[in-house]
Structure 1
Amino acid sequence: MSWQSPPTLLQLAIQSLLRNEALAISALQDLPMEVFPPLFKEASIQRKAKMIKGLVADWPYPCLPVGLLMRNPNLETYQAVLDGADTWLKRKFRPRKPNLQVLDMRNVQYDSCDMRAEREGRDSWMKTVLEKQVVKGQPRSTVRCLKVVSDLAFMCSPNVYQTQLLKWAEKRKGSLKLYCVKMEIGASEVYRALKVLQFLQPEFIKEVKLNTVSGLPALASFAPCISKMSNLRKLQLLRIFGKSNHTHKEEKHITKIISVVSKLNHLQHLTIHDVYFLKAHVEQLFRCLKPSLESLSITYCQLLQPDLESFAQGWNHCQLKQLSLKGTVLLGLDVTPLKFFLESIAETLRILELEYCKMKDHQLGLLLPALRQCSQLTCINFYDNDISMDVLKNLLHSAASLSQLTMELYPAPAEVYDVHGYVIEERFSHYCAELMNTVILVRQPQSICFGSYNCYDCNMRYVYEEKTKPCDCSQEIQEDDFED
């Protein structure tokens, strides 16, 4: 027999209010403040649009986190929130204090500001949002402007809720301010985003992701908008394709795009993934980077030797904690500049990803002295490099002095493959076990794996931790053999 706790008095009161919706709405101004959040949640679950509208209009806290209180809305309840905000905007008399100042529409856990901030002390983000637009010398109580916060994604398939919000906000841009914290722009959507940015507050945007933006002219047209995002913390340029031979006009576009980085004084995370025009422009990029940068990710980009030479130049990288060159092929290049670069960031670097760089023994050998100096490393990834058994042992001995390591990913030695590049399982198990013993003799690793290249047939790796785990197709063959 199962026992269920009886409902609390607050739960009973909320259910009673929702059963008598019209009466409850008329009495909202007399309800205790503490009732509003749970009542909003339950009204959202029961899709009580009129109640939601009334709760927004009479919201007693300075901030309403809609994304936390209203999960899985439909268009009717979402519109009810906007209608409630309209009622609040039109109302001249507001009997409660503090009254609504920030309407947060983001669908995220609400950890950036608290709806009780007026009583308990605002965090820096809330304080900035509430105070930024106050006219100098004017008492805050006279300011009649609602701040609306939302993450925005401009993709090929429009979000109906976002479309609803933007139409509503554009019509009311004289009486409210629209803030965006995270913005993502997909293929062919740059110009739609530019239109919305005309009534956004760019200084509050903290993250921008430009994903598969086709055409340098479109990207260059967006560059001036990024330069106005004075508090941008994270910038991602992903999968931007084009021809490798640039015209003079295209070179001007590239210069305009890269130079934007120099204006982002608070940029902490920069990701450039599969971007064709970075080749022969890395030095230009590095000249634009600021000391605030904490992570640099240049992945699946083609680099030339002059690009790699740029790593040895003096630039502002004193706080860099993460470096990823995954998928950036170093085969045939002199990695000595990368060695100097690792030495320069040895005191701060925590994560190093050199996966699928296709390095050979002599290249990794050049990096080992610098690697030994990176005493703060917690994670290293050397998967998918062509390294022999002897050099891998040297790498493991170098890592023995890195006491902060919590995750280590190493390539299986080159000796485990046949002439066609397929893994010979017996060799894989034998050599990886020997490498594991090499590590255990000098230290106790927290998490360490040896992995092969991805299988040609199933695209999965052989992995060795405590024992060998074959790729999927090899495992299926073994299971079939066992059944026979």
Structure 2
Amino acid sequence: MSSMTPPRLLQLAQKSLLGNEALAILSLDQLPREMFPVLFVEAFNSWLLDILKAMVRVWPFEVLPLGALMKNPQVDILKAVLDGLDMKYTQKSDCRRGKLHVLDLRDDGLNFWNVWAKSMDDACSSEPNMRRQPVEHKGPKSALMVIANVSLTATTPDAFLTHLLQWVKERASLVHLCCHKLKILANLICSMSHMLESLEFGCIEELEVCCDWQPSGLAKFAPYLGRMSSLHKLSLVNLSGSLLVTIEEMMESLFQFASQFAKLPHLRSLHIRSLYFVYNHLDQLLRCLKSPLEDFSVTACLLSEADINYLSQCPCLSEIKYLALRVVKLTHISPEPLRVLLERVAPTLMTLDLMGCEITDSQLNAILPALSHCYQLTSLSFYGNRLSMAMMEKLVEHTGNLSALIYELYPAPLESYDTQGIAHGGRFSHLCTELMGILERIREPKQVLFSTDPCWKCAERMVFGLNHPNQCHCYQLD
């Protein structure tokens, strides 16, 4: 006797429909609403484009989260779906069943398909438990909203994006394109200007610019930035400088770009990484901000003492929750501005990341009193700073009263290394055990990790912490 579960009636009906394309298309008006999501997924996976097109025309939900089904952009699938939308909207289909008003091309709508797959199982059980996916459509019901995250690259034009933008442009009175996240990877502004002009800038909420732009590239992009009135997160990555650009030219370009910040009333998050020209000019970048930031990070940038001084007084950091200075060398900078900054932001600060700043014992000692008053801190990282065992003991003692801390990352004490800078596993483990004991006598730690520098052979760290694997095995053991 076979132990295999026999196929359910709905599964048999679904298989029968997909096996006869003409019958499937004719039957869509009579299908129960609950069958549509599972049938759509099967047609999608089997590349049954005509069935997909017909299903879109009579789709019984307000939202079609197509992007969640596509691991990679698939132009043929997109064309079939858009053809189905043409049948519904532009050809004035007489089908009264279709409710589709939102085509979501982002990759974060998987819950819709999971919910309805589970609902199909419930429908076949003795006690159905049908759950509906809540939807919200902004704008007039007569219009179609297309939601997509857009990435503009310097390579061959993306066929998926090109087709979508052209389709939207030709139906401007019927379709509203909403791009929440925009990523720009193209090095030449002129190569993507026509695509930028196809976007509705007022919809963009997150922007990442990761290009090998000269400062003049920022100036050319500035007018586009100023039109992104809903922007709340901005990331600037790998923007370079040039020996051919004078200080005056660089300052003028930076001013033209930063002046657009005044037109971004909702900007709350600013990340800058590997910006050559920010050295000694951080104030020029931040001065035009009109609203306080909640999240500010600087990574792999060279900052001057004047830059750190400005941060300590910067009005836009008065309500900061997440502050990161990662791989920003502070060794030769006075700790006083950082101490002042921590005192200012102590009432709101929840995350502090000072990873790889090469902070010395004396510098850390100067900021410890301010750090110990950041009672809202939930995450703290000191990875990559070379601190002595004595200073590490003071550090864990001062963080002892920070009862909200959930995640703590500390560097291995200097005594863990030999004169060649090689960590010794036994010594490292012994010292970390002592530090953990100090911390446990003060409060109950949640997740605390101690780490050596990355290994010069395998680039992994040796990590000490509860239930945490020791990744690197190259270090010498005592």
**TM-score normalised by structure 2 residue count:** 0.87
CA shift for structure 1 position 469: 7.0
User: What is the alpha-carbon distance in structure 2 between the residues aligned to residue 299 and residue 211 of structure 1?
Assistant: 14
Counterpart for residue 295 of structure 1: 295
* SS of residue matched to 2:212: coil
The residue correspondences of 1:8-407 to structure 2 (distance < 5 A) are 8-69=8-69, 74-96=74-96, 99-109=99-109, 126-127=136-137, 130-131=138-139, 134=140, 143=142, 145-157=143-155, 158-188=157-187, 190-243=189-242, 246-291=246-291, 293-407=293-407
Q: Is the 8 A contact 1:28 1:58 kept in 2?
A: yes
User: What is the alpha-carbon distance in structure 1 between the residues aligned to residue 299 and residue 398 of structure 2?
Assistant: 25
User: What is the alpha-carbon distance in structure 2 between the residues aligned to residue 181 and residue 159 of structure 1?
Assistant: 18
* SS of residue matched to 2:280: coil
Counterpart for residue 445 of structure 1: 445
Which ranges of structure 2 fall in alignment gaps of 5 or more residues? 117-130
Which ranges of structure 1 fall in alignment gaps of 5 or more residues? 135-139
CA shift for structure 1 position 353: 0.4
Q: Is the 8 A contact 1:457 1:473 kept in 2?
A: no
Change in Cα spacing, 1:3 to 1:407, as seen in structure 2 (3 Å) is farther
Q: Is the 8 A contact 1:68 1:107 kept in 2?
A: yes
CA shift for structure 1 position 465: 2.1
Percent identical among aligned pairs is 36
* SS of residue matched to 1:53: helix
Change in Cα spacing, 1:473 to 1:120, as seen in structure 2 (3 Å) is closer
Change in Cα spacing, 1:464 to 1:227, as seen in structure 2 (3 Å) is same
Q: Is the 8 A contact 2:150 2:182 kept in 1?
A: yes
* SS of residue matched to 2:272: strand
CA shift for structure 1 position 468: 10
User: What is the alpha-carbon distance in structure 2 between the residues aligned to residue 248 and residue 306 of structure 1?
Assistant: 19
CA shift for structure 1 position 387: 1.4
User: What is the alpha-carbon distance in structure 1 between the residues aligned to residue 269 and residue 24 of structure 2?
Assistant: 48
Q: Deviations over 1:383-407 (max 9, x none)?
A: 1112111111111110100001111
CA shift for structure 1 position 333: 0.3
Q: Is the 8 A contact 1:409 1:448 kept in 2?
A: yes
Change in Cα spacing, 1:30 to 1:72, as seen in structure 2 (3 Å) is farther
When structure 1 is superposed on structure 2, of 386-395 and 299-308 the one drifting more is 386-395
User: What is the alpha-carbon distance in structure 2 between the residues aligned to residue 90 and residue 301 of structure 1?
Assistant: 52
CA shift for structure 1 position 251: 1.5
Q: Deviations over 1:136-162 (max 9, x none)?
A: xxxx5xx4x322221111124454422
Instruction: Give me the CA root mean square deviation.
Output: 3.0
User: What is the alpha-carbon distance in structure 2 between the residues aligned to residue 102 and residue 36 of structure 1?
Assistant: 16
The one-letter code matched in structure 2 to 1:22 is A
Counterpart for residue 414 of structure 1: 414
Number of aligned positions between the proteins: 462
When structure 1 is superposed on structure 2, of 280-289 and 105-114 the one drifting more is 105-114
Counterpart for residue 137 of structure 1: none
CA shift for structure 1 position 192: 3.8
User: What is the alpha-carbon distance in structure 2 between the residues aligned to residue 277 and residue 432 of structure 1?
Assistant: 40
* SS of residue matched to 1:328: coil
Change in Cα spacing, 1:367 to 1:94, as seen in structure 2 (3 Å) is farther
Change in Cα spacing, 1:280 to 1:399, as seen in structure 2 (3 Å) is same
Q: Is the 8 A contact 1:45 1:70 kept in 2?
A: no
The one-letter code matched in structure 1 to 2:401 is S
User: What is the alpha-carbon distance in structure 1 between the residues aligned to residue 132 and residue 60 of structure 2?
Assistant: 14
CA shift for structure 1 position 189: 5.2
